[in-house]
Protein backbone atom coordinates (compact mmCIF):
# COMPACT_ATOMS: atom_id res chain seq x y z
CA UNK A 1 0.00 0.00 0.00
CA UNK A 2 1.25 3.47 -0.80
CA UNK A 3 1.30 6.57 1.37
CA UNK A 4 -1.59 8.28 -0.34
CA UNK A 5 -3.69 5.14 -0.94
CA UNK A 6 -4.56 6.58 -4.31
CA UNK A 7 -5.89 3.88 -6.62
CA UNK A 8 -6.91 3.77 -10.25
CA UNK A 9 -9.72 1.97 -12.08
CA UNK A 10 -8.89 -1.70 -12.61
CA UNK A 11 -6.26 -1.74 -9.90
CA UNK A 12 -6.37 -4.74 -7.53
CA UNK A 13 -7.18 -3.49 -4.03
CA UNK A 14 -8.14 -6.53 -1.95
CA UNK A 15 -9.01 -10.21 -1.86
CA UNK A 16 -12.69 -11.08 -1.67
CA UNK A 17 -11.87 -13.50 1.14
CA UNK A 18 -11.09 -10.48 3.32
CA UNK A 19 -13.15 -7.64 1.88
CA UNK A 20 -16.34 -7.38 -0.14
CA UNK A 21 -16.73 -4.89 -2.96
CA UNK A 22 -18.65 -1.73 -2.07
CA UNK A 23 -18.73 1.88 -3.24
CA UNK A 24 -16.16 2.44 -5.97
CA UNK A 25 -15.06 -1.20 -6.24
CA UNK A 26 -16.13 -4.40 -7.94
CA UNK A 27 -15.24 -8.07 -7.51
CA UNK A 28 -14.20 -10.55 -10.17
CA UNK A 29 -12.89 -14.09 -9.62
CA UNK A 30 -12.33 -13.47 -5.93
CA UNK A 31 -10.38 -10.26 -6.40
CA UNK A 32 -11.66 -6.78 -5.56
CA UNK A 33 -10.73 -4.01 -8.02
CA UNK A 34 -11.16 -0.25 -7.98
CA UNK A 35 -13.85 0.97 -10.38
CA UNK A 36 -12.97 4.64 -10.02
CA UNK A 37 -10.08 6.91 -9.20
CA UNK A 38 -9.89 7.75 -5.55
CA UNK A 39 -8.67 6.90 -2.09
CA UNK A 40 -8.76 3.28 -1.02
CA UNK A 41 -10.48 2.61 2.32
CA UNK A 42 -10.33 -0.90 3.78
CA UNK A 43 -13.15 -0.97 6.32
CA UNK A 44 -12.32 -3.79 8.74
CA UNK A 45 -15.48 -3.34 10.81
CA UNK A 46 -17.75 -4.05 7.87
CA UNK A 47 -15.25 -6.08 5.82
CA UNK A 48 -15.71 -3.93 2.75
CA UNK A 49 -13.23 -2.29 0.38
CA UNK A 50 -14.28 1.17 -0.82
CA UNK A 51 -12.77 3.74 -3.14
CA UNK A 52 -13.84 7.22 -2.15
CA UNK A 53 -13.97 9.78 -4.91
CA UNK A 54 -11.82 12.82 -4.40
CA UNK A 55 -13.13 15.74 -2.33
CA UNK A 56 -12.93 18.33 -0.97
CA UNK A 57 -11.40 20.33 -3.81
CA UNK A 58 -7.69 20.87 -3.92
CA UNK A 59 -6.76 23.86 -6.01
CA UNK A 60 -4.36 23.32 -8.89
CA UNK A 61 -1.99 25.92 -10.28
CA UNK A 62 -0.21 26.27 -13.61
CA UNK A 63 3.02 24.27 -13.46
CA UNK A 64 1.71 21.66 -11.01
CA UNK A 65 2.64 18.07 -11.77
CA UNK A 66 -0.44 15.85 -11.72
CA UNK A 67 -1.30 12.18 -12.10
CA UNK A 68 -4.31 10.84 -13.96
CA UNK A 69 -5.87 8.29 -16.26
CA UNK A 70 -6.63 8.86 -19.92
CA UNK A 71 -10.41 8.72 -20.23
CA UNK A 72 -10.85 9.31 -23.95
CA UNK A 73 -8.81 9.80 -27.12
CA UNK A 74 -10.12 11.80 -30.08
CA UNK A 75 -8.65 13.17 -33.31
CA UNK A 76 -6.96 16.26 -31.94
CA UNK A 77 -7.05 15.76 -28.20
CA UNK A 78 -7.18 13.38 -25.30
CA UNK A 79 -9.02 13.77 -22.01
CA UNK A 80 -7.85 12.64 -18.60
CA UNK A 81 -9.30 12.22 -15.14
CA UNK A 82 -6.82 13.87 -12.83
CA UNK A 83 -6.44 11.89 -9.63
CA UNK A 84 -3.71 13.58 -7.67
CA UNK A 85 -1.08 16.25 -7.47
CA UNK A 86 2.58 15.46 -6.89
CA UNK A 87 3.65 15.97 -3.29
CA UNK A 88 0.12 16.24 -1.94
CA UNK A 89 -1.47 13.30 -0.18
CA UNK A 90 -5.00 14.56 -0.30
CA UNK A 91 -6.70 13.67 -3.54
CA UNK A 92 -8.30 16.21 -5.81
CA UNK A 93 -11.90 17.23 -6.11
CA UNK A 94 -14.05 19.50 -8.15
CA UNK A 95 -12.94 19.96 -11.72
CA UNK A 96 -10.62 17.03 -12.22
CA UNK A 97 -11.33 16.59 -15.92
CA UNK A 98 -8.43 17.79 -18.07
CA UNK A 99 -7.74 17.97 -21.78
CA UNK A 100 -4.49 17.43 -23.69
CA UNK A 101 -4.30 19.03 -27.10
CA UNK A 102 -2.45 17.07 -29.78
CA UNK A 103 0.26 19.76 -29.91
CA UNK A 104 0.93 19.39 -26.17
CA UNK A 105 1.44 15.64 -26.02
CA UNK A 106 4.92 14.92 -27.39
CA UNK A 107 8.02 16.79 -28.52
CA UNK A 108 7.84 15.50 -32.07
CA UNK A 109 5.14 16.27 -34.59
CA UNK A 110 2.03 14.21 -34.04
CA UNK A 111 -1.15 14.17 -36.04
CA UNK A 112 -2.56 11.06 -34.43
CA UNK A 113 -3.18 11.12 -30.70
CA UNK A 114 -3.61 7.33 -30.72
CA UNK A 115 0.12 7.00 -31.45
CA UNK A 116 0.87 8.75 -28.17
CA UNK A 117 -1.83 7.98 -25.63
CA UNK A 118 -4.58 5.41 -25.20
CA UNK A 119 -7.62 5.17 -23.01
CA UNK A 120 -6.72 3.70 -19.61
CA UNK A 121 -3.08 4.85 -19.65
CA UNK A 122 -1.79 6.20 -16.34
CA UNK A 123 -0.02 9.47 -16.98
CA UNK A 124 2.04 12.17 -15.34
CA UNK A 125 1.27 15.62 -16.74
CA UNK A 126 1.89 19.28 -16.07
CA UNK A 127 -0.85 21.86 -15.74
CA UNK A 128 -0.68 24.53 -18.46
CA UNK A 129 -4.09 26.19 -18.22
CA UNK A 130 -6.55 26.38 -15.32
CA UNK A 131 -9.38 28.47 -16.70
CA UNK A 132 -11.83 28.20 -18.32
CA UNK A 133 -10.92 24.51 -18.33
CA UNK A 134 -8.03 22.47 -17.02
CA UNK A 135 -5.41 21.67 -19.65
CA UNK A 136 -2.24 19.64 -19.22
CA UNK A 137 0.82 18.73 -21.26
CA UNK A 138 2.89 15.53 -21.42
CA UNK A 139 5.66 17.03 -23.60
CA UNK A 140 8.66 16.89 -21.24
CA UNK A 141 10.83 13.76 -20.83
CA UNK A 142 9.53 13.15 -17.32
CA UNK A 143 5.92 13.46 -18.47
CA UNK A 144 3.73 11.01 -20.32
CA UNK A 145 2.59 7.45 -19.75
CA UNK A 146 3.87 5.89 -16.52
CA UNK A 147 1.89 2.64 -16.57
CA UNK A 148 -0.30 0.85 -19.10
CA UNK A 149 -2.08 -2.45 -19.52
CA UNK A 150 -2.38 -4.32 -22.81
CA UNK A 151 -5.67 -3.48 -24.53
CA UNK A 152 -5.91 -7.06 -25.78
CA UNK A 153 -4.99 -9.20 -22.75
CA UNK A 154 -4.70 -6.75 -19.81
CA UNK A 155 -1.09 -7.67 -19.07
CA UNK A 156 1.10 -4.81 -17.85
CA UNK A 157 3.03 -3.48 -20.85
CA UNK A 158 6.83 -3.06 -20.89
CA UNK A 159 8.97 -0.63 -22.88
CA UNK A 160 9.80 -1.89 -26.37
CA UNK A 161 13.43 -2.62 -27.33
CA UNK A 162 13.63 0.57 -29.39
CA UNK A 163 12.34 2.53 -26.42
CA UNK A 164 9.73 4.41 -28.40
CA UNK A 165 6.69 2.43 -27.41
CA UNK A 166 5.18 -0.41 -25.43
CA UNK A 167 5.25 -4.14 -25.85
CA UNK A 168 3.05 -6.80 -24.26
CA UNK A 169 5.19 -9.66 -22.85
CA UNK A 170 2.14 -11.95 -22.95
CA UNK A 171 0.53 -11.53 -26.38
CA UNK A 172 3.40 -9.59 -28.05
CA UNK A 173 1.16 -6.69 -29.03
CA UNK A 174 3.35 -3.62 -29.76
CA UNK A 175 2.08 -0.05 -29.79
CA UNK A 176 3.67 3.42 -29.85
CA UNK A 177 3.38 5.71 -26.80
CA UNK A 178 4.58 9.01 -25.37
CA UNK A 179 6.36 7.50 -22.38
CA UNK A 180 7.62 9.22 -19.27
CA UNK A 181 11.34 8.57 -18.68
CA UNK A 182 10.51 6.43 -15.65
CA UNK A 183 7.78 4.32 -17.21
CA UNK A 184 7.16 1.17 -15.18
CA UNK A 185 9.09 2.44 -12.15
CA UNK A 186 6.45 4.67 -10.62
CA UNK A 187 4.96 3.60 -7.31
CA UNK A 188 1.31 4.38 -6.66
The reply on whether position 173 binds Zn ion by CB under 5 A is: yes
The reply on whether position 86 binds Zn ion by CB under 5 A is: no
The reply on whether position 174 binds Zn ion by CB under 5 A is: no
| Pairing label, strands 20-21, 65-73 | unpaired
The distance of closest approach from Cβ of residue 118 to Zn ion in the complex, given in angstroms and rounded to an integer, is 13
The reply on whether position 6 binds Zn ion by CB under 5 A is: no
Phi and psi torsions of 103, nearest 5°: -75, -10
Taking CA 95 as the corner, what is the angle to CA 48 and CA 65, rounded to the nearest 5 degrees? 90
Whether 123 contacts 70, CB under 8 Å: yes
The reply on whether position 152 binds Zn ion by CB under 5 A is: yes
The candidate with the shortest Cα–Cα distance to 128, out of 35, 60, 30, is 60
C-alpha 90/C-alpha 125 separation (Å) is 18
47-55, 126-134, 155-163, 174-182 -> range binding Zn ion (CB under 5 A): 155-163
Q: Which of 59, 171, 174, 186 binds Zn ion (CB under 5 A)?
A: 171
Specify the residue, 58 or 151, whose C-beta has the smaller distance to Zn ion: 151
Q: Which residues bind Zn ion (CB under 5 A)?
A: 150, 152-153, 155, 168, 170-171, 173
Amino acid sequence: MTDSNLVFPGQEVASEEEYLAAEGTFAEDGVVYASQVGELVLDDDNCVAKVISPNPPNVLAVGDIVYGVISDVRNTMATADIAGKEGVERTLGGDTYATLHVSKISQGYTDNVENELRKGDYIRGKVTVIKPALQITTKDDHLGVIKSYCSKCKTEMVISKKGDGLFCPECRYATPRKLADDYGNVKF
